[in-house]
Amino acid sequence: MSVPPSSVLTALDLERRIHTRRGTALTALALALVWALVVLALPEGPARPVAGLLLFLDTAGFGVLFVAVLMLGERTSGAWAALAASPLGAGEYLAARLVVFTVLGSVAATPIAVAARPVDGVTGVAVAVVGTALLATLLCAVSVAACASARGLADLMVSVPLCLGPLLAPPLLVASGIAGHPAWYAVPTTAAHTVVRWGLDPSAVPLPGTAVAALAAVAVVATAGACVWARRALVRARTAEGDRPPWTRVRGPRRTRVPRAEGAPVRILARVDLRDAATDGMVWALVAGPVVVALGLRAGLPLVADTPVLAGVDVASWRPVLLAALVLLHVPMMAGSVVALRAVEDRERGTLALWSASPLGAGTYLTCRAVAAAGLTAVQLALTLPLSGLADGDTWSMVAAVAVAGLLAAALALAVTAVARDRMRALVVLKGVGVLFVLVPVAAWVLPPPWVWFLLPLPVVWPLAALPAYGLAPVALAAPCGTVAGALLAGAAWWWARSAVSR
Please tell me the least confidently modeled range out of 79-83, 106-110, 449-453: 79-83
Backbone angles phi, psi at 250, to 5 degrees: -120, 130
- Are 151 and 196 within one domain? yes
DSSP string, 411-432: HHHHHHHHH-SSHHHHHHHHHH
Please report whether residue 252 resides in a domain. no
CA-closest candidate to residue 98, choices 70, 76, 73? 70
Q: What pLDDT was estimated at residue 359?
A: 83
- Are 233 and 273 within one domain? no
- Are 5 and 64 within one domain? yes
pLDDT in tens, 328-377: 999 999 999 989 988 898 888 888 888 888 888 888 899 999 999 999 99
- Domain of residue 317: give its range: 265-503
- Are 304 and 190 within one domain? no
- Are 38 and 181 within one domain? yes
Of 212, 243, 274, which residue is a domain's last?
A: 243
- Are 239 and 378 within one domain? no
Of 182, 213, 243, which residue is a domain's last?
A: 243
Please report whether residue 98 resides in a domain. yes
- Are 136 and 210 within one domain? yes
Given a cut of 80, whether residue 221 has pLDDT beyond it is: yes
Q: Where residue 247 falls among pLDDT bands split at 50, 70, 90?
A: very low
- Are 346 and 198 within one domain? no
Q: What pLDDT was estimated at residue 256?
A: 40
Please report whether residue 130 resides in a domain. yes
Residues with Cβ within 8 Å of 374's Cβ and at least 6 positions away in sequence, in order, are: 406, 407, 409, 410, 490
- Are 216 and 355 within one domain? no
Tally of structural domains, the chain: 2
Alpha-carbon span 88 to 370, nearest angstrom? 43
- Are 199 and 275 within one domain? no
Please report whether residue 253 resides in a domain. no
Q: What percent of the chain has pLDDT over 90?
A: 30
Given a cut of 60, whether residue 271 has pLDDT beyond it is: yes
- Are 51 and 117 within one domain? yes
199 neighbors 126 (Cβ within 8 angstroms): yes
Of 194, 212, 243, which residue is a domain's last?
A: 243
Q: What pLDDT was estimated at residue 198?
A: 93
Please report whether residue 376 resides in a domain. yes
Please report whether residue 337 resides in a domain. yes
Residues with Cβ within 8 Å of 315's Cβ and at least 6 positions away in sequence, in order, are: 301, 304, 305
Query: What's the rounded mean pLDDT across residues 148-162?
Result: 69
- Are 469 and 358 within one domain? yes
